[in-house]
């Protein structure tokens, strides 16, 4: 594809592509200088940790014929044959270029944003679509799941070049329906620009990522981009009416003339009337577009009911039959690492793994499990390094308030000292609480201790924080570590 063609196809109606001194044919584009090949365009973007302009010379050496950079980016001296494209928003431009270069996308794409519930919601909507007979896929924290392409977890929202390459592969494999997680980082960095969306869903907004966003308002603004900038007028906004941000998002949808459906206890189109726990999960009574329906959801937790309703609304908004979509939720399984029952102790006590690594998520999952622990509720958790430190003492307080026994251990320390992270967690525990232990010899030992603390079938163990992850990063080195796998190891050892 000629660079001029790519520039024209990646321009919006209000933007005139700049004049080019030369018009090379491009064989590819990338944000990673190590992936540059002959005939490539290299996007020299400035990131949080690295400045892409420092790698321009390497990119040219590898065969780059064009460089994309910000107007004020300082580039090294280049041969006149190298075309330099300056753009006021190079992140958005490269995303639009990636979409134009890759070409194909699944015909129906639904994006889900929010602090909690993204992974479960995209997992559920993919399940509903598949049960309706569509060839469906999902992309997000858990990786890519589709009939023909499966990839393990990476970034919640991949870089735009990788994302659009993957979408083109899925489309060529016949995938017609795609559910994708839209992280605040991905939205803020324009990684999802270029997606042709049919629907977008907002789950909730709670304290998270303030190591990246300056405030909760800028965090929300990043989430709101999905509705303010990316969802076309022909799409449908699906919003959790029980969120305190619902009204603001509904106003955005109204301003753009987008159809807006809300769900939850306060929802209009998908109103939750009743949620009753059953031996198999929960029975939901829901008013859907004015008609009453019963849903037998084989999962525990009110938050899972909320995620299921969001997924149901997305499925119906994208053409799914209501009755068949409701029926499909009866066979849904939980997303890996999301309140996942992974083992049973010899006493009969259940062991769950959950990705809860934020204060609100930890409080929600412990509150959800409390009624199911007729004996003691035990939790093993830690906090990640190089991330928001303010949440550490908050999570220490929450865990010791809601669990009968809290084992404070390591999560992913990354570059930080594990003992310092644990100390910050412990700092939030009130002095009069004695229901906690700091486990200093690693997460494996903490899980072993948690399993050993289960005394009867009425006890319950939650291993929180890492969920689906299969690695633990310590001092920059990632070691294999799977909470579910370790729990099963000790369940077998005591059986």
pLDDT of residue 150: 73
Residues in CB range of 67: below 8 A, 6 or more apart = 41, 42, 43, 44, 56, 59, 60, 75, 78, 82, 83, 84, 85
Has 469 been labeled as part of a binding site?
yes
Has 368 been labeled as part of a binding site?
no
Has 457 been labeled as part of a binding site?
no
pLDDT of residue 62: 97
pLDDT of residue 294: 97
Give the DSSP per-residue string, 160-187. HHHHHHHHHHHHHTT--EEEEE--HHHH
Strand partners, 340: 353
pTM of the model as a whole: 0.82
Q: What is the rounded CA–CA span in Å between residue 33 and residue 422?
A: 38
pLDDT of residue 206: 85
Has 147 been labeled as part of a binding site?
no
Has 244 been labeled as part of a binding site?
no
Has 412 been labeled as part of a binding site?
yes
Blockwise average pLDDT, block size 10, the chain, 495 residues:
91 63 94 96 88 96 97 94 94 96 96 94 97 96 84 69 94 97 93 96 81 82 96 98 97 97 98 90 96 95 94 98 97 88 92 93 94 95 94 98 98 97 98 98 98 96 95 94 96 65
Has 157 been labeled as part of a binding site?
yes
CA distances from 324 to 312, 329, 389, 413 (A): 10, 9, 45, 45
Residue 271, judged by CB atoms within 10 A of its CB (0-12, 13-18, 19+), counts as buried
Q: Which domains does the chain have, with CATH numbers?
A: 3-100 (3.40.1390.10), 104-329 (3.40.1190.10), 340-494 (3.90.190.20)
Has 131 been labeled as part of a binding site?
no
pLDDT of residue 13: 46
Q: At what angle do helices 118-131 and 322-329 cross, to 10 degrees?
A: 120
* 2 phi and psi angles, rounded to 5 deg: -70, 145
Please give the DSSP secondary-structure letter assigned to residue 334: P
Has 413 been labeled as part of a binding site?
yes
Per DSSP, helices labelled H in 159-301 are 160-172, 184-188, 216-225, 246-255
pLDDT of residue 386: 94
């Amino acid at each position: 594809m000629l660079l001029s063609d790519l520039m024209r196809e990646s321009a919006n109606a209000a933007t005139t592509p700049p004049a080019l001194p030369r018009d090379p044919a491009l064989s590819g584009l990338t944000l990673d200088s190590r992936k540059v090949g002959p005939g490539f365009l290299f996007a020299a973007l400035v990131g949080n940790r690295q400045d892409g302009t420092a790698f321009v010379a390497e990119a040219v050496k590898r065969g780059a014929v064009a460089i994309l950079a910000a107007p004020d980016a300082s580039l090294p001296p280049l041969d006149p044959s190298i075309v330099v494209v300056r753009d006021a928003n190079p992140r958005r431009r490269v995303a639009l270029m990636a979409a134009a270069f890759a070409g194909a996308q699944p015909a129906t794409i639904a994006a889900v944003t929010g602090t909690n519930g993204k992974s479960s919601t995209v997992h559920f909507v993919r399940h509903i679509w598949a049960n309706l007979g569509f060839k469906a896929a999902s992309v997000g924290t858990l990786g890519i799941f589709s009939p023909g392409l499966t990839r393990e977890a990476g970034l919640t929202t991949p870089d735009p070049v990788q994302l659009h390459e993957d979408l083109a592969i899925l489309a060529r494999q016949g995938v017609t329906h795609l559910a994708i997680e839209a992280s605040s980082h991905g939205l803020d960095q324009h990684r999802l620009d270029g997606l042709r969306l049919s629907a977008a869903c907002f789950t909730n907004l709670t304290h998270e990522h303030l190591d990246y966003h300056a405030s909760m308002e800028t965090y929300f603004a990043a989430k709101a981009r999905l509705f303010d900038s990316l969802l076309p007028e022909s799409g449908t906004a699906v919003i959790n009416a029980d969120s305190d941000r619902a009204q603001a998002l509904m106003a955005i949808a109204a301003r753009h003339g987008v159809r807006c459906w809300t769900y939850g206890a306060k929802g209009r189109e998908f109103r939750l009337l009743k949620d009753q726990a059953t031996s198999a999960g929960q029975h939901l009574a829901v008013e859907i577009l004015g008609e009453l329906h019963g849903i037998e959801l084989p999962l525990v937790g009110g938050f899972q009911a909320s995620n299921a309703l969001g997924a149901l609304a997305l499925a119906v908004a994208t053409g799914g039959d209501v009755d068949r979509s409701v029926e499909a939720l009866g066979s849904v399984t939980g997303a890996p690492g999301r309140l996942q029952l992974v083992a049973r102790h010899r006493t009969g006590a259940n062991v769950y793994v959950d990705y809860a690594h934020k204060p609100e998520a930890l409080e929600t999952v412990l509150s959800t499990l409390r009624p199911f622990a007729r004996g003691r509720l035990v939790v093993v958790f830690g906090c990640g390094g190089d991330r928001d430190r303010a949440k550490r003492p908050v999570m220490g307080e929450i865990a010791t308030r809601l669990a009968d026994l809290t084992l404070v251990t390591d999560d992913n320390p990354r570059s930080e000292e594990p003992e310092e992270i644990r100390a910050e967690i412990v700092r939030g525990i009130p002095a009069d609480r004695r229901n906690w232990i700091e486990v200093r010899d690693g997460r494996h030992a903490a899980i072993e201790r948690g399993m050993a603390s289960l005394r009867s079938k009425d006890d319950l163990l939650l291993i929180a924080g890492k969920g689906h992850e299969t690695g633990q990063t310590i001092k920059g080195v990632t070691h294999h570590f799977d909470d579910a796998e370790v729990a099963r190891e000790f369940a077998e050892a005591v059986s």
